[in-house]
Amino acid sequence: MIPTLPFGRTGHDSTRIIFGAAALSDVTQDEADQTMDLLQRHGINHIDVAASYGDAELRLGPWMERQAGDYFLATKTGERTYQGAHDEIRRSLERLRVDHVDLIQLHNLGDPAEWETAMGPDGALKAAIEARDEGLVRFIGVTGHGTQIAAMHLRSLERFDFDSVLLPYNFPMMQNPQYAADFERLFTLCQERNVAVQTIKAITLGPWGEHQEHFAATWYEPLREQGAVDLAVDWVLGRPGIFLNTVGDIHVLPMVLDAAERFDGQRPTDAQMEHLVKEKEMAPLFT
């Protein structure tokens, strides 16, 4: 079984593998149902979706209507203003067919100007706090991409006591000295405050080539050999205290779940990961 870990201060023991429901953005309901069946077989109990993930909230709706209590359910708003976020949060509840979600996250909050709006007096954070006070959400988090996001999350935590953060974490990206230093500072602060740390892009090979045929629904090229996926997943899970949010493609997803099931607690060495990077010509997605 995939191990669980307390999801920060929420009181929920989440599987260390969190289903990234971006994978359901552009699939049929039948495909979504098959994916949910697969997640159930692996015991996954935490789902992370977003208002902007195509039809993903709609695809989850029938399941949440029946079995919402079986999952820690998180969604995101990409709106920056109070009114925009207020409306989008309620639209997500309708699409998900629930009366509340466990976690609402300010989505991809990395741009400084957007940050000022969202965190300001008439911003999205005000709507999230209001929704929490009304019982529509239980906890509030913040997410983001890019090399600057660990530093931005630190800034966000100075402004508000978020319950979770989400950001990229993989071996190639952690070879960026500044990002690695920012990540470590963020991780230390989150440990001190009992803030959950979610990580994304675990099995990224690199950006798609300019004329490359896309064989997966992800916006980056993922690793696609099981042995390579095993090493990438093991490297993330080998870091205690963090969660791995899965890949945005339902056909690649089984490899990630399989790797997690077989994780034996041993983290690959730097030499193993350096060999993988060289062999697969892995490259940072964010520079």
Looking at every residue in the chain, the average pLDDT score rounds to: 96
Which two structure tokens, joined as six digits, stand for 200? 């994304």
Give me the residues paired with residue 221 across strands: 206
Inform me whether the pLDDT recorded for 285 exceeds 90: no
Inform me whether the pLDDT recorded for 117 exceeds 90: yes
Structural domain span for residue 199: 4-280
Does residue 21 belong to any structural domain of this protein?
yes
The whole-number pLDDT of residue 126 equals 98
Nearest CA-CA partner of 109 in 63, 139, 140: 140
Average pLDDT of 151-158? Answer: 98
Report yes or no: 286 and 168 within 8 Å, Cβ to Cβ: yes
Q: Tens digits of per-residue pLDDT, 173-206?
A: 999 999 999 999 999 999 999 999 999 999 999 9
Inform me whether the pLDDT recorded for 287 exceeds 90: no
The helix-helix angle for 253-262 and 29-41 (nearest 10°) equals 0
Inform me whether the pLDDT recorded for 39 exceeds 90: yes
Does residue 211 belong to any structural domain of this protein?
yes
The whole-number pLDDT of residue 93 equals 98
Phi-psi category of 281—alpha, beta or left, where left has phi over 0 and alpha has psi -120 to 50? Answer: left
Does residue 285 belong to any structural domain of this protein?
no
Inform me whether the pLDDT recorded for 53 exceeds 90: yes
As for how many domains the chain has, the answer is 1
Does residue 121 belong to any structural domain of this protein?
yes
Does residue 286 belong to any structural domain of this protein?
no
Inform me whether the pLDDT recorded for 132 exceeds 90: yes
Inform me whether the pLDDT recorded for 210 exceeds 90: no
Inform me whether the pLDDT recorded for 50 exceeds 90: yes
CATH number at residue 127: 3.20.20.100
Average pLDDT of 79-107? Answer: 98
The whole-number pLDDT of residue 213 equals 85
Nearest CA-CA partner of 191 in 3, 4, 6: 6
